[in-house]
Amino acid sequence: MLNTKRYLLPWVAGIFLLLFSCQREEPPLSGTFKGLEVPKHFPEPVYRFGENTPTEAGFSLGRKLFYEPLLSKDGSISCGSCHHQEAGFSDPGKAFSEGVNGKLGLRNSPAMANLAWFPSFMADGGINHIEVMPIAPLTDSLEMAESLSSILKKLQGHKTYPQLFEAAFGTDSITDQNLLYALAQFMALMVSANSKYDDLLNGKTTFSLPEERGLTLFREKCASCHQEPLLTDFSFRNNGLDLYSEDPGRARITLQESDRGKFKVPSLRNIAFTAPYMHDGRFNTLSEVLDHYGEGIKSTPNLAPELAALTLSETEKQDLLHFLSTLTDYKYITDTNFSNPQKN
């Protein structure tokens, strides 16, 4: 007769050991850490890191912090709660995201990619540096609702963070600057440049006929704002959503009525996965977006002039949909170096 106890014991011990070691150690990054690699079809990035040279320890710390609910007031929300990797780091299916205590924010959570190329952040461009970007969500009462001083206290008293800051910045006394540096390292290295569209630009693939026709239409009708290859020119434009925009958009920053209803042109990278669309998440599908551009544009005084005469036939819409689906970067949305380290 088998002695089940004898067979089971090492297994049970093994499982305990595994659980224990998982809790203590972060999984290492896959591949060799190379810092920011500028894809060869991209322009030079805006963020040059300055004194914040990326290191493997700094990036890994930034990644851990990005998924750390401790950074919110009640310990329930992390950056990753509203920016989901599998959805291109947007908040899929939600027009507005929930912050602490289930409070809803005022704008749709955007996709995140290629942030090192961004001259400004937010739909109204209210933030102009990647290193200060996290202060807004960390402290906004509708998002993480926490104060920097309280975050620093929590991290300083934590069993692993002081060590991780020491490894990244040479000191275990945690400062707001090092917190922001680590998050900036993680965000700046979130590069998406491996979609079928990128492969086409790099001569590694060819498009189907509908994709090809979609790209031609896109270059004709869309790329003046959604400029290649980042698929945004980062300008603030009114794309005719409302006759009078309740959300002032860029005017919130400039206080100019002529900027009302102008929003930063969003990048369209991974767009098939980032629904709902626009600053308020009003469109649930890309077809609805194209119906808007085809026949829904409102002629507000601030409307971008090139949109006033835009028309799209049903076949053109289909071709554009084919092209837009080539913008999905499956490597990026599944890359374990950007995923929640607790879940690997």
Interaction site with ligand HEC (CB under 6 A): 77, 79, 81-83, 97, 99, 105, 107, 109-110, 112, 115, 121-123, 133-134, 137-138, 143-144, 183, 187, 221-222, 224-226, 237, 239, 241, 263, 265-266, 268, 271, 274, 277-279, 286, 289, 293, 304, 306-307, 320
- Tell me which residue has tokens 């920016």: 83
Burial class (CB in 10 A: 0-12, 13-18, 19+), 56: middle
Residues 6+ apart with CB under 8 A from 32: none
- Smallest distance, Å, CB 152 to ligand HEC? 14
Cβ at position 78, least distance to ligand HEC in Å = 7
Whether the ω angle into residue 229 lies within 30 degrees of 0, i.e. cis, is yes
Cβ closer to ligand HEC: 13 or 318? Answer: 318
- Per the CB < 8 A criterion, the answer to whether 328 and 195 are in contact is yes
At a CB cut-off of 8 Å and minimum separation 6, what does 37 contact?
191
Assigned token pair, 135: 């202060």
Distance CA 74, CA 100 (A): 7
Residue nearer to ligand HEC on the CB measure, 155 or 304:
304
The least CB distance from residue 57 to ligand HEC, in Å, is 19
CB closer to ligand HEC out of 57 and 321: 321
Find residue 319's DSSP bridge partners: none
Based on CB atoms, which residue is closest to ligand HEC, 213 or 279? 279
Q: Which is nearer to ligand HEC, 57 or 320 (CB)?
A: 320
Choice between 205 and 224, CB closer to ligand HEC? 224
| Shortest distance (Å) from residue 14 CB to ligand HEC | 37
CB of 104 to ligand HEC, least distance (A): 9
Per DSSP (E only), the strands in 245-311 are 263-264
- Amino acid letter, 294: G
Q: Enter the DSSP assignment of 278.
A: T
Contact between residue 184 and residue 130 where contact means Cβ atoms under 8 Å apart? yes
Residue 305, classed as helix, strand or coil, is: helix
CB of 161 to ligand HEC, least distance (A): 15
- The amino acid present at 40, given as its one-letter code, is K
Q: In whole angstroms, what is the distance from residue 215 CA to residue 212 CA?
A: 5
Nearer to ligand HEC, 198 or 280 (CB): 280
Tell me the CA distances in angstroms from 306 to 175, 298, 311, one per residue in order. 47, 13, 11
Minimum gap (Å) between residue 205 Cβ and ligand HEC: 21
